[in-house]
Amino acid sequence: MSATSAFAGLWSSLPESLTPWILDAIQSMGHTHMTPVQASTIPLFMKHKDVVVEAVTGSGKTLAFVIPTLERLIRRESKLRKNEVAVLVVSPTRELATQIHSIFSLFLAAQPRSSVSDEDDDGVSELEYPPPLLLISSKESSPAQDIERFLSTGADIVVGTPGRMEEFLLGQGRTVVNVKELEVLILDEADRLLDLGFHASITRIITHMPKQRRTGLFSATMTDALSELVRVGLRNPARIVVKVQTKKMQKGTQERELIEEQRIPANLQNFYLSCRASEKVVQLSRIIDLETKRHGTSQFIVYFATCACVDYFYRVLPSVLPSSVTLYSLHGHLQPATRTRTLASFSSAASTPSSPSVLLATDVAARGLDLPHVDAVIQFDPPSDTKAFSHRCGRTARAGRSGRAWVLFVGREVEYVDLMAVRKIPLKEHKYLMASGPASGDEDRPEDPAAAIYLEKMRKAVLADRMLNDQAAKAFVSFVHAYSKHEASYIFRVKDLDLIGLGKSFGLLRLPRMPELKDCDRSNWTDAEVDWDTYAYADAAQEAKRLAAQAAKPSSEDVSRRKAERAQQKKRNNAWSDGLAKREERDKRKEKKSRKKKWLKAQAQSTEGDAQSGSAKRAREAPLGSDGDESEDWDALAREERMAKKVKRGEISQKAFDAEFTGL
């Protein structure tokens, strides 16, 4: 399908004409024609219909709700008061909320200014519709300050994330913000709002809204979880699903043309590449090189599984990538202000094929972001959430542009291709990239020699700073943990993963201690030669802390002594149920019994007649020593002898005897 076939007519073909300054703003943005999702959604939304819209990424969903929302605001019969809101837009991430806010701002900045008379002036120029208000968490703005900004600007349109929006409407702003005149409620990336655990917040926001409103749910992927939300918040909604279809020739006895549906942009080439775990970084480097030289790509997004992986590879990849490559880091654990600066810097970077820009990111950058200069996306790790796959790919090939998406598979992960085919996301195999070009598809080929070279380069970088070693171990463990929680667990199984090869791709100096590595064959692994006592942190404060801890480390003698003490304490703490104490008592009684027999024998040999009998009697009645416990012990021994005779005669069972005297 060509780029032009994605257009669905001129803006002038809409049933209701757009306001002139709205149309001028659209054309100034370069949108001369409507996309299918815009042509389908705008007329319904302007005719007071609730809509549930599902369309592939990059299809123009944002304008599909921005334009009719502004038109409804313009066509209001009465002007809103300072504390009244007409439009609420809820987005799952601060980056997407900021982007939507910028689009509303762009349109409202294009409105004509009206002149009003003033007693002290001949006239002043003011905007009829104030700028939109953005509600996202930041150090610069608290919820109380959000209310102040709302009242001072009189914003009719409010865009924000769920938590901040709930605080604005139901927290401090409950008695201030008036939503009785609300015209439109938009939930963008609606399925993601529920996936991130915002269901309760969204439900409270919806129930606080007036029933006489228009509601729109927009996303590239809809889930069953939305059905409840639709029932609660929408009235007889129109379902709009915009599909992408491709033509394919089926060969056989007679060739015929087939029409196939897919859930990715028509101009997107989606490749997968299979390699060993130890070769992933090598392939990442070669894909970037191939893209820049063959397609002139200047901006990339590389997706990793965890925030720790992004942090680590951001620090270590410069050791294996050309110095002309500029790296950016974006993930959810960064401070909001840092994320905003990173995204702005990457978007505005003066990138060229000879000096490309590469954004290393997690799925926080997978949805909704419009980065028009990104022509290639590389999924270093397939996403744990299978729905995120199409969203990642959709960061390129947007608005009719062409683009390429790559994903790296290890071992049996290639079975993911069939899963994506079921979800109408076709993937085309690309041969393994060698330094001289694509390799054959032979699975028995030897390991790429470059893998060992890259391992040494990465280890050299890690050896320069002990903090990188800490980050490497943390990233490795976090990846294995995320891998174990993959939605497609029947494909992504830790026991099938080459953890040794993975350790090489991370440039680890040594393998971390973790249960998953316990039974691994380490014949193909060699620890780096490191003097761990002198291996230092580059940061002076961290190194001082390490040295202090090292100095306080106990000596080998102290360690042995503490080990012996712990063994004694463990012995004292043993449960009575294991019979240890009773067994010790039994052994003590046997020893005393033996001593008694010897003493009696000696007495019998040294005495005669009645004296002997009396002496023996007194011996049985008197203690051996001054300890009063001895007589009690002899009584117990006598009782044990009597019980043993009863066992022999069959009067009691052996089991009862053992329970009484051995505790077994």
Residues 183-209 pLDDT 10s: 999 999 888 887 777 888 988 999 899
Q: What pairs with residue 328 in β-bridges?
A: 359
The string of DSSP letters for 543-586 reads HHHHHHHHHTSPPHHHHHHHHHHHHHHHHHT--GGG-HHHHHHH
- Percent of the chain residues topping a pLDDT of 90: 56
Start-end of CATH 3.40.50.300 domains in the chain: 11-114+127-242, 262-438+448-517
pLDDT at 552 over 80: yes
Tell me the CATH number of domain 11-114+127-242, given options 2.60.120.10, 3.20.20.140, 3.40.50.300, 3.30.413.10: 3.40.50.300
pLDDT digit string, tens, across residues 206-264: 989 998 899 999 987 776 656 666 766 788 889 898 877 665 555 555 555 555 667 77
- As assigned by CATH, the class of the 262-438+448-517 domain is alpha beta
Characterize the bridge pairing of strands 184-188 and 299-303: unpaired
Closest CA to 393 of 384, 406, 402: 406
Which pair of structure tokens corresponds to residue 124?
A: 């002043």
pLDDT of residue 622: 46
**Residue 443 DSSP symbol:** T
Reduced to 3 states (helix: H, G, I; strand: E, B; else coil), residue 609 is helix
The string of DSSP letters for 111-177 reads SPPEEEEETTEEEEEE-SSPPPEEE--BTTB-HHHHHHHHHHHT-SEEEE-HHHHHHHHHSTTTTT-
Q: Lowest-pLDDT range, 417-431, 444-458, 594-608? A: 594-608
pLDDT at 593 over 90: no
Q: How confident is the model at residue 623 (pLDDT cuts 50, 70, 90)?
A: very low
pLDDT digit string, tens, across residues 636-660: 667 777 887 887 788 888 777 777 7
